[in-house]
Structure 1
């Protein structure tokens, strides 16, 4: 299989998934999207499951590129940009996230799907943790912020946002705005005007500085 053919099939898999969803998509649907005969798809992949595993591997490579391509020099700018990109950054988000949620629903019963999905989760959490660690070290974030705990929380939050958009149509823009407020009012150093006026301490899910 040439590299161009492989890429065409994987792109076609993405388009077919977005159109038909995981449960209904067929090898014929993918062949139609790729402009190939069904036999050509089966020549390269034994079946839908093998092809979807290859698609997830391809998706992970693009996912890594998105992570490393996030802009911003200051940690808080990088954190905002990263979260914005994965909460609101896809034009095909509803259809794509619906198909991906269907795949995620299979992972408790399919170790191959689960292993690949864990790679996405771990990479995203690791990037968040790295940004948070840089922010704590530079003073951009509170010194009692626990990068491990906050990275885990934000990863869970983003997954929840995507699921809520698929499940009930909740606009991700609202969640993105809430995240920005959380970062600016909770993770940033204490002593801001708002905190002084309210006399409250932000919740940092953090570690003791003693």
Structure 2
């Protein structure tokens, strides 16, 4: 069902962009695929189950896009920044709003909260490991890897909220994150070695 899953995840993405979280239904998701609503219910009992699977899909996508297998910690860290902000600059439509709507449901939906927590933990772990490796190799200035990871995750999430609520360009948050990493770790985002 791998291809079917990918098609369903794409349908959720398109339905979220078009209708937002509040107006999202199983039928509207089915309308964006060649599957029936009954077929969706066969694989996923509820809209919430579909959205949990979608959040896991988003987490897997980010992990697959980030160059985590590179031996070079700077390449890995640059990959994190590029993956997050290149995607944010591409998805300036309704998707960021729909994703924020899902995040807003987390205080009331334990399953969403757990999926979002897992995504956050994966993201922070990836950043912290790259920072730790860079410090160990003498590539980065000494810093607290977990503190750096927390700042990057917090700034990224805050930037997402500012984009949706205030119309702020994701490039502003990218500049903030890059400036922080430059001053904290000594990376030159304007120099060579960019991914």
Query: Normalising by structure 2, what TM-score?
Result: 0.85
* Runs (5+) with no aligned partner, structure 2: 188-195
Q: Distance in 2 between matches of 1:3 and 1:181?
A: 40
Structure 1 residue 42: deviation in Å?
A: 2.5
Structure 1 residue 5: deviation in Å?
A: 2.7
Is 2:17–2:94's contact at 8 Å kept on the other side of the alignment?
yes
Q: Deviations over 1:28-52 (max 9, x none)?
A: 1111100233233223322211221
Change in Cα spacing, 1:181 to 1:70, as seen in structure 2 (3 Å) is same
Quick one: which of 79, 82, 86 aligns to 2:80? 82
Number of the residue aligned with 1:152: 150
Is 1:125–1:152's contact at 8 Å kept on the other side of the alignment?
yes
Q: Distance in 1 between matches of 2:96 and 2:68?
A: 21
Corresponding residue pairs, total:
186
Quick one: which of 160, 163, 173 aligns to 1:162? 160
Number of the residue aligned with 2:114: 115
State the superposition RMSD in angstroms: 2.1
Is residue 7 of structure 1 aligned with residue 27 of structure 2? Answer: no
Q: Deviations over 1:142-175 (max 9, x none)?
A: 22x1111111111111111111111111111122
Q: Distance in 1 between matches of 2:68 and 2:18?
A: 28
Q: Equivalent residue of 1:34, what SS?
A: coil
Number of the residue aligned with 1:100: 99
Larger Rg: 1
Is 2:62–2:83's contact at 8 Å kept on the other side of the alignment?
no
Structure 1 residue 93: deviation in Å?
A: 4.5
Q: Distance in 2 between matches of 1:117 and 1:106?
A: 11
Number of the residue aligned with 2:190: none
- The runs of 4+ residues in structure 1 deviating greater than 6 Å are none
Q: Deviations over 1:98-156 (max 9, x none)?
A: 1111111111111111111111000000011011101111222222x111111111111
Query: Normalising by structure 1, what TM-score?
Result: 0.79
